[in-house]
């Protein structure tokens, strides 16, 4: 078995991460947190599948009420995802084992307040309630000032953002934290995590390829990244993010465990290199924020409809909501993000309009054909 990085131990509920403990497999509910029955059923399905931690998103006081009830009805170790609502931390803290915040979202919220103060608030809450924290950096929402410092480097902004927040924690004397650096491209996940682990080898890492998409491609992308990192001793807990319908969400755990078992047994797959020479469909794993249940189906239809363009080096991103959808589609050639009744279509950062769920596929095809034609017309070097 590969020697693991000498990370420190971080306890989250009944689980110990880092310090040579087995790599923990975790997942996130895609249900609405205020839909208690559905959330409890999914949290329990994830736990029964072997999930060490179950994450839920909280965006509103009603979600907090839902979370309180979910806590009562499940034995799972719970993590709360605070994305836009870091101030809800103190309300959910008594009911969870870890809080995750995104430094990019923290930057946007209460801009006049220094990030360090906001981190100090979260650390106070964590200390008071005996919680761990995850600094969860995400490619699509890196603090824009940090991103602007590295215009030529597509991962260093993520790495520096994580390092900066680690320094905040260190200055506050809080070491019960883990870090994640996620991107939808395995190359960037590998690179960002390698750089971070070289700088801070003692900080436990949560690995994940975000918006990996549907099986089997989503599994392959994740496997590529995890093989490269875990075989170098990097990674203490993993999450596989797949676009799956709710009744199958717990399969993220079985897939994650299978990847770990294969790596431990030396079963490395011969995997395609994601070097951008074919069509790349990126889709988010969905979560409680999905605005229309047709999202998972739409992601599948996009994949089927675009199969004819497989040999073209283009990226199409399909996202489930307005919170992360607009930002996380910026780097795609074509992006779709779902609203309650309409799907928003983008060409890179440019918005092309909002279309009904029944109208979006032909419109997407039209844009895709135009992009392919434009590239064909371009003189070759
Ligand atoms: S894009 Fe929205 S719906 Fe999809 S996982 Fe991210 S927050 Fe959830």
Q: Are 154 and 209 in contact (CB under 8 A)?
A: no
Q: Are 336 and 360 in contact (CB under 8 A)?
A: yes
Q: Does the CB atom of residue 286 touch ligand 1 within 6 A?
A: yes
End-to-end CA gap in the chain:
47
Q: Does the CB atom of residue 323 touch ligand 1 within 6 A?
A: yes
- Residue minimizing CA distance to atom 8 of ligand 1: 287
Measured distance CA(334)–CA(346) in Å, rounded? 6
Q: Does the CB atom of residue 319 touch ligand 1 within 6 A?
A: yes
Domain boundaries of the chain, sorted by first residue: 10-264, 280-377
Residue 17 makes CB contacts below 8 A (sequence gap 6+) with: 7, 9, 10, 11, 24, 132, 178, 204, 236, 237
10-264 against 280-377: fold identical:
no
Measured distance CA(46)–CA(239) in Å, rounded? 12
Residue 14 makes CB contacts below 8 A (sequence gap 6+) with: 77
Q: What length is written for the chain? A: 381
Torsion sign across C-alpha atoms 358, 360, 362, 363: positive
To which H or E segment does residue 273 belong? none
Predicted confidence (pLDDT) per residue in 251-271, tens digit: 999 999 999 998 888 787 645
- Residue minimizing CA distance to atom 5 of ligand 1: 286
Topology given in CATH for the domain delimited by 280-377: Sulfite Reductase Hemoprotein; domain 1 (3.30.413)
320 CA to centre of ligand 1 in angstroms = 5
Predicted confidence (pLDDT) per residue in 334-367, tens digit: 999 999 999 999 999 999 999 999 999 999 999 9
Residue 374 makes CB contacts below 8 A (sequence gap 6+) with: none
Measured distance CA(147)–CA(143) in Å, rounded? 6
Walking along the chain (381 residues) 10 residues at a time, the average pLDDT comes out as: 86 97 97 96 98 96 96 98 88 97 90 93 98 95 90 94 98 98 95 98 97 91 93 96 95 97 79 68 86 92 95 92 86 94 96 96 97 85 55
CATH code of 10-264, in short, is 3.20.20.20
- In 3D space, the residue among 110, 184, 115, 112 whose CA is nearest the CA of residue 146 turns out to be 115
User: Side-chain half-sphere of 372: how many Cα atoms within 13 Å?
Assistant: 16
Name 351's bridge partners: 346
Compute the radius of gyration of the chain from its Cα atoms.
20
Q: Does the CB atom of residue 66 touch ligand 1 within 6 A?
A: no
Q: Does the CB atom of residue 287 touch ligand 1 within 6 A?
A: yes
Q: Can you give the pLDDT at residue 270?
A: 47
Q: What's the predicted TM-score (pTM) here?
A: 0.86
Q: Can you give the pLDDT at residue 289?
A: 86
């Amino acid at each position: 078995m590969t020697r693991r990085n000498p990370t420190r131990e971080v306890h989250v509920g009944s689980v110990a991460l880092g310090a040579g403990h087995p790599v923990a497999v975790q997942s996130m509910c895609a249900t609405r947190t205020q839909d208690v029955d559905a959330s409890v059923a999914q949290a329990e399905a994830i736990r029964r599948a072997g999930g060490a931690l179950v994450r839920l998103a909280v965006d509103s006081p009603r979600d907090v009420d839902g979370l309180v009830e979910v806590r009562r009805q499940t034995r799972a170790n719970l993590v709360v995802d605070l994305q836009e609502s870091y101030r809800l931390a103190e309300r959910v803290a008594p009911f969870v084992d870890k809080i995750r915040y995104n430094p990019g979202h923290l930057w946007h919220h209460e801009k006049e307040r220094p990030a360090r103060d906001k981190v100090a608030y979260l650390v106070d809450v964590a200390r008071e309630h005996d919680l761990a924290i995850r600094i969860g950096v995400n490619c699509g929402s890196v603090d824009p000032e940090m991103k602007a410092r590295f215009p030529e480097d597509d991962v260093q902004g993520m790495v520096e953002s994580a390092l900066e927040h680690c320094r905040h924690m260190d200055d506050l004397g809080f070491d019960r934290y883990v870090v994640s650096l996620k991107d939808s491209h395995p190359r960037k996940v590998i690179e960002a995590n390698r750089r971070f682990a070289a700088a801070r080898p003692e900080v436990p890492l949560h690995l994940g390829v975000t918006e990996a998409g549907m099986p089997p491609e989503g599994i392959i992308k994740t496997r590529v990244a995890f093989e490269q990192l875990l075989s170098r001793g990097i990674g203490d807990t993993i999450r596989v993010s797949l676009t799956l319908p709710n009744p199958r969400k717990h399969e993220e755990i079985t897939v994650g465990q299978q990847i770990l078992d294969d790596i431990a047994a030396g079963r490395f797959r011969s995997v395609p290199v994601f070097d951008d020479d074919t069509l790349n469909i990126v889709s988010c794993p969905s979560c409680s924020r999905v605005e229309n249940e047709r999202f998972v189906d739409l992601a599948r239809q996009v994949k089927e409809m675009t199969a004819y363009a497989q040999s073209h080096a283009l990226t199409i991103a399909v996202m489930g909501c307005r919170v992360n959808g607009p930002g996380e589609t910026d780097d795609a050639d074509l992006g779709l993000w779902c609203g309650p009744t309409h799907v928003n279509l983008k060409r890179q950062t440019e918005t092309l309009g909002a279309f009904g769920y029944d109208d979006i596929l032909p419109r997407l095809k039209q844009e895709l054909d135009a992009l392919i034609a434009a590239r064909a017309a371009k003189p070759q070097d």
